[in-house]
Amino acid sequence: MSRAALPPATPMARQILDHRSLLQRARTLPGEARVALALLGIMTVAALAAVGYLVIAGTLDGRWYDIRDLGNGTSHLVYWMERQGWHPAIPYLTTGLLGGLGILSLVGGWLVIGSWVERRLLAKFQIRQGPNRNGPFGLLQPIADALKLIQKEALIPIGADRLLYYLPPVLIFIPAMLGWAPVPWAARMSYVDMNVGVVYAIAISSLGVLAVFLAGWSSNNHYALLGAMRTVAMMVSYEIPISMTLLSVVVLTGSLQLSQIVAWQQQYHVWLIIVLPLAAFTFLFASTAEINRTPNDIGEAESEIVAGFHTEYSGMKAGLFLAVELGNAILVGAMMATFFLGGYTLFGLETWIPGYLILATKIGAVYFVFVWLRGTLPRFRLDQLMGFAWKFLIPLAIVQLLVVAVEALVIEQSGLPGVATVSGAILVNALLTFFGVRAWANAIGYRPEAGASTPILTTAVGGLRAAARLQAVP
């Protein structure tokens, strides 16, 4: 008897089998609903066509209601206030508050929805359902979690340093918010488009280290201190590859300003992840270490040191640490999207779709990769992780930086058309990535485990495809 004919073993398996895809659900809709949906679709298409006409005619460009770039509305507001003859502090403060409110509501909104997204996605990776009890699709789960955390007793461990114990949950939140300042959401839409944006991003991300350490030290707990020391060592080590890769981005694009980096990618119609694949990988991997996510979450490895540096925190203080982790994940996503994935541009599509929506989509894609990594990869050991940074990433990043310096010189000075020089750079960097990584890995003795093994467990358990096969059996 084949395994496929067996009845599902558990209620959960039954639920998974009964679960229908969206397409299957759409097929069983009643007739009226289909008509209504069709009408809605036609109206949407008509509205889009009208907007498209406006965009092509150019009547929309730069008006205050041009929501493709919210900077238009703000600059009109400032202009209006200046014409009223008000004190210059008022437009300054108003725009500052508006932008701050925008960032706060973005991060706050993400904190409300983020943990649900992560848990549902992880559940999909592990063939589970995920939280689905509170509200439609379990959407109210984060709010229920927050309520639970708020109700919990605020415990302070004996012997804890009270000042330093209360400070870190607040302290760690500040860089997570400040980091959003230089991110360009559209051509004229960034909170502070500063000249030193890249250095600022690195500097702000290095501020969180101290809060993590203080949290671990003040808890008066061995596990917390171990976790804090691990995290600090890891973050300090991985700041170097991050700085190196961002330096190669800066050398290539010739600017420390984030909007200029995006403009470079727009000018040459290429994403930097294609030009600098090694740098992009290094940045992604090192930032998973920087924000304490799997596979680099040794600072709070549950199976080794309870919960790491926030072991002794309870209630909303622990909630703040978890929230900062979520917020940092999308902050790093925004940095990754801006530096390597073209930012708010999408090969000309940004004249049609608001740039901030494009950037948000890219942030979501990077976040999906983070969740994917978390669902797939096991955790590194501490020495493996540090060795990987110091022996592998940093030397390769230095080589990459030297090569990029020459390429930038050629692109700037040779006078050849940009297509030729940039594609030459792409080719050189791709070769460097492929052979350099292989050669260096061989040289320092990274080898694959003898004989690649077939994943026995997944075939035995089944997976989604097996579930579909089960469904096909009458």
| Binding interface with another protein (CB under 8 A) | 89, 92, 161, 163-164, 167, 194-196, 199-200, 202-204, 206-207, 209-210, 213-214, 217-218, 229, 232, 236, 239, 256
Nearest to another protein of 167, 399 (CB atom): 167
Q: Which of 241, 246, 233 is nearest to 308 (CA)?
A: 233
Burial pattern 8-19, b for ≥16 Cβ within 10 A else e, equals: eeeeebeebeee
Nearest to another protein of 366, 408 (CB atom): 408
Instruction: Please tell me the total number of residues recorded for the chain in this structure.
Output: 474
Q: Could you write out the DSSP letters of every residue in 264-310?
A: HHHHHT--HHHH-HHHHHHHHHHHHHHTT-TTS-GGG-HHHHTTGGG
Q: How far apart are alpha carbons 336 and 148 in whole angstroms?
A: 34
Nearest to another protein of 195, 351 (CB atom): 195
Nearest to another protein of 180, 217 (CB atom): 217
CB of 59 to another protein, least distance (A): 34
CB of 225 to another protein, least distance (A): 8
Q: Which residues pair with 186 in a beta bridge?
A: 189
Nearest to another protein of 192, 439 (CB atom): 192
Nearest to another protein of 164, 306 (CB atom): 164
Q: Can you point out the beta strands (E) in 180-282?
A: none
Q: How far is CA 396 from the centre of its chain?
A: 24
Greatest extent of the chain over all pairs of C-alpha atoms, in Å: 86
- Cβ proximity of 272 and 425 under 8 Å: no
Nearest to another protein of 107, 204 (CB atom): 204
Q: Which residues contact 195 (CB under 8 A, 6 or more apart)?
A: 256, 257
CB of 246 to another protein, least distance (A): 12
Return the H-helix or E-strand segment holding 22.
Answer: helix 22-27
Q: Could you write out the DSSP letters of every residue in 376-400?
A: HPPPPPHHHHHHIIIIIIHHHHHHH
CB of 387 to another protein, least distance (A): 16
Long-range contacts (CB closer than 8 Å, 24 or more residues apart) made by 123-126: 125/371, 125/372, 125/375, 125/376, 126/375
CB of 213 to another protein, least distance (A): 5
Nearest to another protein of 204, 276 (CB atom): 204
Q: How far apart are alpha carbons 185 and 362 in whole angstroms?
A: 11
Nearest to another protein of 194, 318 (CB atom): 194
Which one-letter amino acid corresponds to residue 311?
Answer: T
CB of 79 to another protein, least distance (A): 20
Q: How far is CA 78 from the centre of its chain?
A: 32
Q: Which residues contact 239 (CB under 8 A, 6 or more apart)?
A: 202, 205, 206, 290
Nearest to another protein of 218, 259 (CB atom): 218
Total Cβ atoms within 10 A of residue 228:
29
Distances (CA, A) of 177 to 194, 235, 326: 16, 19, 12
CB of 235 to another protein, least distance (A): 8
Nearest to another protein of 202, 399 (CB atom): 202
CB of 196 to another protein, least distance (A): 5
Q: Which residues contact 179 (CB under 8 A, 6 or more apart)?
A: 201, 204, 205, 328, 331, 335
Distances (CA, A) of 269 to 137, 245, 350, 434: 40, 21, 13, 23
CB of 66 to another protein, least distance (A): 27
Distances (CA, A) of 428 to 90, 424, 438: 52, 6, 15
CB of 88 to another protein, least distance (A): 8
CB of 266 to another protein, least distance (A): 21
3-state secondary structure of 334: helix
CB of 175 to another protein, least distance (A): 10
Nearest to another protein of 166, 368 (CB atom): 166
